Structure 1
Amino acid sequence: MRSATTPLDLLVPGPEHLPADPAEPRLTSLHAVPAGTPHVRANMVATVDGAAWGADHRSGSINDDADWRVFRVLRAAADVVLIGAGTARHEGYTALDRPAGLPAASDRPLELALVSRSGRVPQLLADGDRPPLMITGATGARTAARLLPADRVLEVPSAHDPDDVDVRAGLAAIAARGLARVLCEGGPTLLAALLRDGLVDELCVTTSPRVVGPGPSRIVAAPASGPGAAPAAGVPTTPPVPARLGHLLHAPGTGTLLARWLLR
């Protein structure tokens, strides 16, 4: 596993210099959230021209050491990582471990929760020793039950379509298990659903100093069809959400910017 070596400057509030520190006390305090209170934080990376991934169709090709520093702190502060099953499959997710050397949110293992209409479990996770939680609808629950223990399948059908997923009910279901501090790592379609329903408390966005050109999605993308889909290309599906800047970090060696935006 790589080590964090890139220093950061805190610009807002600030200025303040944050040298690389394996224990990350200052970054931890900057990203602290209340214990026991449901809190949804999303963490995404985008290029200067808004791309959510690079040439290999993975977000890992556009992040860097500065992003890695914050990424580790956010995982340490979470009870559960929430991610779309398609993104987990594409990015090669396996069972999660808490980042070593950082203060953890709890003594419990860091959980992984997938959101999927189909209920299909990525093979790497289905074959692993620590199965993820699957948040899905009626048909998806039957599919997931063939690969996961019954107590790992959370069936939360949407009121307007039993095969669709009620993400609000899904968050309530994982909170009932004591997983209140949620870190959403994408993908763009899941983030769109969470924003559409007003469920995101804060959005951490790393702006990578790259321009990749047309092709990749933005960090928020409506599904191609079905409930919540954009009525036409370029037309927002929800009103704009006001955002307040919590803090802004800058990596002086690369120009990478890391912002924490408060949405609620």
Structure 2
Amino acid sequence: MADVLYRKLDELTDDEVYAAYAPPEPDWLRVNFVSSADGAATLEGLSGPLSGEDDKRVFKVLRARCDVLLAGSGTVRAEGYGPLVLSEERKAWRREQGLPEVPVMAIATRTASLDPKAGIFTEAPRRPILLCPADLQEERLDPFREVADVIAVGVGGIDFRAAVAALRAQGLRQILCEGGPHVFGGLIAAGLADELDLTLSPLLVGAGPMRIAEGAAAADATPLRLRHVLEAGGNLILRYLRGSVDE
């Protein structure tokens, strides 16, 4: 088993944080979530109150590292996603890596219940992608075709295997998913999640909020191996990679 890194986040430079999240393979799908210590994915209906500045430092590095940022439409609406932009520092880092200044935004939706005039579409620095089922009525999709590339795969729901293959066919090989729980559940069920980056917030929320993965049940549990533990202000910032602990 590879050694596990245990460090305080504030002891690491930005370059070390970038290095700590280097993807092992060119095609890689990582999922980033925050959870309370007792497993709640939200507080007062949002993930934001569970997060803090330390968690956001890693959050920004993960965004800078990806080719495409995937989020479900419910998360986009609830968390108030706007156009995907990065700081000048993050854009400079991407240019040094030979990457476009910003990733592409991809939004997964079963019903296309979004506003095509919203800034996430109309003000995006790169043309976004809409992932949806292939049997969605065309009149629902027509307004989005003007502001996004539509990838329609699956019947009654998104076929995430086909969707991920379509993203990679466009050269978007490093995928970062920021939720929501139903998207994560779909990725687990399809066997697509290569990495889980999970921040455990030092809060007890109690009963009520959903877990970080919901929806379709997976046929089997996916083994994970712990790569690192970063501590910051009582938060545990965990990186798990897919694979047996015996590897």
CA distance in 2, matches of 1:175, 1:181: 8
Alignment deviations for residues 137-188 of structure 1 (CA, whole Å, 9 cap, x no partner): 124362122233286111112xxxx232111111111111111100000000
Deviation at 1:237, TM superposition (A): 4.0
Deviation at 1:203, TM superposition (A): 0.4
Q: Partner of 1:98: helix, strand, or coil?
A: coil
Alignment deviations for residues 84-109 of structure 1 (CA, whole Å, 9 cap, x no partner): 11111111111101343132261253
Change in Cα spacing, 1:239 to 1:34, as seen in structure 2 (3 Å) is closer
**For residue 68 of structure 1, what is the amino acid of its counterpart?**
K
Deviation at 1:116, TM superposition (A): 1.2
**For residue 45 of structure 1, what is the amino acid of its counterpart?**
V
1:129 is matched with 123
**For residue 244 of structure 1, what is the amino acid of its counterpart?**
R
Matched, 1:261 2:240: yes
Deviation at 1:15, TM superposition (A): 4.8
Q: 1:192 aligns with which of 185, 193, 196?
A: 185
**For residue 124 of structure 1, what is the amino acid of its counterpart?**
A
Q: Partner of 1:186: helix, strand, or coil?
A: coil
Question: TM-score, structure 1 length as denominator?
Answer: 0.80
Change in Cα spacing, 1:18 to 1:12, as seen in structure 2 (3 Å) is farther
Change in Cα spacing, 1:26 to 1:114, as seen in structure 2 (3 Å) is same
Change in Cα spacing, 1:84 to 1:14, as seen in structure 2 (3 Å) is closer
Question: TM-score, structure 2 length as denominator?
Answer: 0.86
Q: Partner of 1:101: helix, strand, or coil?
A: helix
Higher helix share: 2
Equivalent pair of 1:43/1:186 in contact (CA under 8 Å): yes
Q: 1:42 aligns with which of 19, 31, 53?
A: 31
Supply the RMSD in Å over aligned alpha carbons: 2.2
Deviation at 1:126, TM superposition (A): 6.3
Q: Residues 136-151 of structure 1: matches in 2 within 5 Å?
A: 136-140=132-136, 142=138, 143-149=140-146
Please identify, of 148-157 and 72-81, the stretch whose mean Cα deviation from structure 2 is larger: 148-157
Q: Which has the higher contact order (CA 8 A, sep 6+)?
A: 2
Please identify, of 179-188 and 94-103, the stretch whose mean Cα deviation from structure 2 is larger: 94-103
What are the ranges of 5 or more consecutive residues in structure 2 without an aligned counterpart? none
Corresponding residue pairs, total: 232
Deviation at 1:129, TM superposition (A): 2.6
Equivalent pair of 1:112/1:133 in contact (CA under 8 Å): yes
Deviation at 1:60, TM superposition (A): 0.5
1:86 is matched with 74
CA distance in 1, matches of 2:8, 2:234: 16
Equivalent pair of 2:29/2:175 in contact (CA under 8 Å): yes
What are the ranges of 5 or more consecutive residues in structure 1 without an aligned counterpart? 1-10, 223-227, 229-235
CA distance in 2, matches of 1:13, 1:109: 29
1:25 is matched with 15
2:102 is matched with 109
Change in Cα spacing, 1:69 to 1:141, as seen in structure 2 (3 Å) is farther
Q: Partner of 2:197: helix, strand, or coil?
A: strand
CA distance in 1, matches of 2:78, 2:55: 20
Q: Partner of 1:138: helix, strand, or coil?
A: coil
Q: Partner of 2:29: helix, strand, or coil?
A: strand
Matched, 1:219 2:212: yes
CA distance in 1, matches of 2:119, 2:219: 33
1:6 is matched with none
Alignment deviations for residues 213-244 of structure 1 (CA, whole Å, 9 cap, x no partner): 1111010111xxxxx3xxxxxxx543221110
Q: Partner of 1:154: helix, strand, or coil?
A: strand
Q: 2:56 aligns with which of 31, 47, 68?
A: 68
